Amino acid sequence: MDEVLVRVKSVGICGSDLHYWRTGAIGDLIIKEPLVLGHELSGEVVDVGRSVSHLSPGDRVVVEPSSPCGRCRFCRTGRYNLCPEKRFMGDPPNNGAFAEYVAWPAAFVYKMPSGLSFDEGALVEPLSIGAYAARRAQITAGDKVLIMGAGPVGLMCLIAAVTRGATEILVVDMFDWRLNKAKEFGATSTMNARDVNVVEKVRELTNGEYVDVTMETSGSPDAAAQSVKITRRGGTIALVGLFDSVQFEYPLLDVLMKEISVVGNYDGAHSFATSLQIMSSGKFDTKKMITHHLPLDKIEVGFKIMEEKKEQVLKIELHP
């Protein structure tokens, strides 16, 4: 009664989809039977439940892929992304959006502004991750921010940091072409970790103060440990990227001695409306993040492109 049926127009392949495709699991979430992945989608409403009043067939929409219970302590206190009973598209056992149609609770389906394309709409979900992480890190005007990794999530964190008024935004990656993309989206400085000592370079660029906030989006344990060295005393580290290892060494004594706040980030709660506004503002040409378009039946090709990294790939969008 409270769901809408959406015809999927564009759906992106996320790094978490690649994790599942590669290993069959993310942490305790283990695929035990056939599963449809995918959660970054835009589409067109084709039918609505009887209790749905804010959406109609023909509406162009984006879908927040999280559907919490609405009853637990986390839902009641506004942290519905931590709901232990929530459904998330493409997380076992819930089928996702690599499909022609998706049925989803209408409360988590949003109308798209008329000027936004379906391709851009499919980027709203990853932007919500960056917007949520920037809010969790409490980035404010005048902050110095360092983003580790210039993949899609890193670039979305960059956009969010720019939007929140950060004045200096440093971006680290291992590919110059991705660093060039970061400059297009507002990075004030970039560095290739293959060519420079990142800690020394950050110290130099910040006159020995280091940065207020570090956003680790690469999913590299080494980068996560390095983030402690480049974050100032009393600063904040936002862990955003997914790690292949469940456990790894982390300099907790330095975290303690420097009084660094380390915040985890899970999904993009309360960030879809903000992300739609950012996306529709026209300030950022997010279509530049889309490097590949494929039909749905070529999804295996998309995963292999991401896995092999032989091509310059940021975001692959599939079109059922």
pLDDT digits (tens, 9 = 90+) for 109-123: 999 999 999 999 999
Asked whether residue 212 falls in the same domain as residue 312, the answer is no
In the chain, pLDDT over 70 holds for what percent of residues? 100
Q: Span 1-15, mean pLDDT? A: 96
Domain-embedded: residue 272: no
pLDDT score, position 244: 77
Domain-embedded: residue 143: yes
Q: Span 16-32, mean pLDDT? A: 92
Per-residue pLDDT band for 28 (boundaries 50, 70, 90) equals confident
Asked whether residue 131 falls in the same domain as residue 254, the answer is yes
Spatial distance between the Cα atoms of 162 and 130, rounded to a whole number of angstroms:
11
Asked whether residue 152 falls in the same domain as residue 91, the answer is no
Nearest to 154 by CA among 139, 141, 171, 132: 171
Asked whether residue 132 falls in the same domain as residue 42, the answer is no
Exposed/middle/buried for residue 249 (C-beta within 10 Å: 0-12, 13-18, 19+): exposed
Asked whether residue 113 falls in the same domain as residue 151, the answer is no
Spatial distance between the Cα atoms of 256 and 233, rounded to a whole number of angstroms:
10
The pair of three-digit structure tokens given for residue 63, joined into one six-digit string: 């879908």
Spatial distance between the Cα atoms of 22 and 24, rounded to a whole number of angstroms:
6
Domain-embedded: residue 22: yes
Query: Judging by DSSP bridges, how do beta strands 231-239 and 261-264 pair with one another?
Result: parallel
Nearest to 161 by CA among 181, 142, 180: 142
Asked whether residue 203 falls in the same domain as residue 116, the answer is no
Those residues whose C-beta lies under 8 Å from the C-beta of residue 288, and which sit 6 or more positions away, are 181, 184
Asked whether residue 230 falls in the same domain as residue 310, the answer is no
Asked whether residue 257 falls in the same domain as residue 133, the answer is yes
Asked whether residue 86 falls in the same domain as residue 207, the answer is no
Phi/psi of residue 5, each to 5°?
-105, 125
- We report the CATH number of the domain holding residue 260 as 3.40.50.720
Per-residue pLDDT band for 242 (boundaries 50, 70, 90) equals confident
Burial per residue of 145-167, b for 16 or more beta-carbon CB atoms within 10 angstroms, e otherwise = bbbbbbbbbbbbbbbbbbbbebe
pLDDT score, position 101: 98
Phi/psi of residue 219, each to 5°?
80, 20
Spatial distance between the Cα atoms of 82 and 73, rounded to a whole number of angstroms:
10
Domain-embedded: residue 269: no
Domain-embedded: residue 23: yes
- We report the CATH number of the domain holding residue 30 as 3.90.180.10
Kindly report the average pLDDT of the chain as a whole number. 96
Tally of structural domains, the chain: 2
Q: Where are the alpha helices (DSSP H) in the chain?
A: 15-23, 73-76, 118-121, 124-136, 152-163, 176-184, 198-205, 221-230, 252-258, 272-280, 299-308
Spatial distance between the Cα atoms of 154 and 104, rounded to a whole number of angstroms:
28
Per-residue pLDDT band for 27 (boundaries 50, 70, 90) equals confident
pLDDT score, position 245: 78
Domain-embedded: residue 274: no
Asked whether residue 29 falls in the same domain as residue 113, the answer is yes
Find the domain containing 227 and state its range: 127-264
Residue type, 189: S
Asked whether residue 254 falls in the same domain as residue 173, the answer is yes
Domain-embedded: residue 53: yes
Q: Span 55-74, mean pLDDT? A: 97
Residue in the structure block whose two tokens are 């008024």: 165
Domain-embedded: residue 270: no
Asked whether residue 139 falls in the same domain as residue 112, the answer is no
Spatial distance between the Cα atoms of 231 and 227, rounded to a whole number of angstroms:
6
What 8-state DSSP symbol labels residue 298? G
Q: Span 192-211, mean pLDDT? A: 96
The CA distances from residue 34 to 6, 96, 300, in Å, are: 22, 11, 15
